[in-house]
Amino acid sequence: MDLRPELLPPHVPPRRLAALSREIERVAELVLDGAGDEAVAAFNAATGHRYGPLDFVEYDGLRSLEEFAREAARPAWPRVPDVTRDELVEIVRRVAADPASPDCDYYLLLLAANVPHPRARDLVLGSDLGPESGADAAGRVVDALLSYRAISL
């Protein structure tokens, strides 16, 4: 199934990736020198994200500089109000087909932003979905994501 453009990971031009990478490294140096609060705030204002100082100095434990820059260049919370169940199934199938893809994190964020389940990422990655999984398996995961209801206290 093809996804609508608003559900696809936005392309990040190499020039933008390079600029963000340089800025991430600059902010990391400032944080290490104890003067990074303003730089972190400016970076967040420019990208729409909510990174903290540790995100800059410890990113390499979780991802590469390029992955961090790509994440920062893309929307922080890609909400698509009219996303359909079939589209969500296709997104889960894409994650299952290639969990090492550079677009996988974006698809997982897209799911988290568009379903009520608070641990969408964990549910998708913890499911027994492999590249050969069909729409039925992905559909069951999506049904679980959509059926979640918070308990009101």
- pTM of structure: 0.86
Per-residue pLDDT, averaged over 111-129, amounts to 88
State the pLDDT at residue 128: 67
Domain positions in the chain: 14-73, 85-147
- Record the tokens describing residue 65, joined without a space: 């500089």
State the pLDDT at residue 153: 78
Given a cut of 90, whether residue 127 has pLDDT beyond it is no
Rounded-to-integer distance, Cα 41 and Cα 100, Å: 30
> In this predicted model, what pLDDT tens digit does every residue of 75-96 receive, in sequence order?
999 999 899 999 999 999 999 8
Residue of higher predicted confidence among 107 and 97: 107
State the pLDDT at residue 103: 93
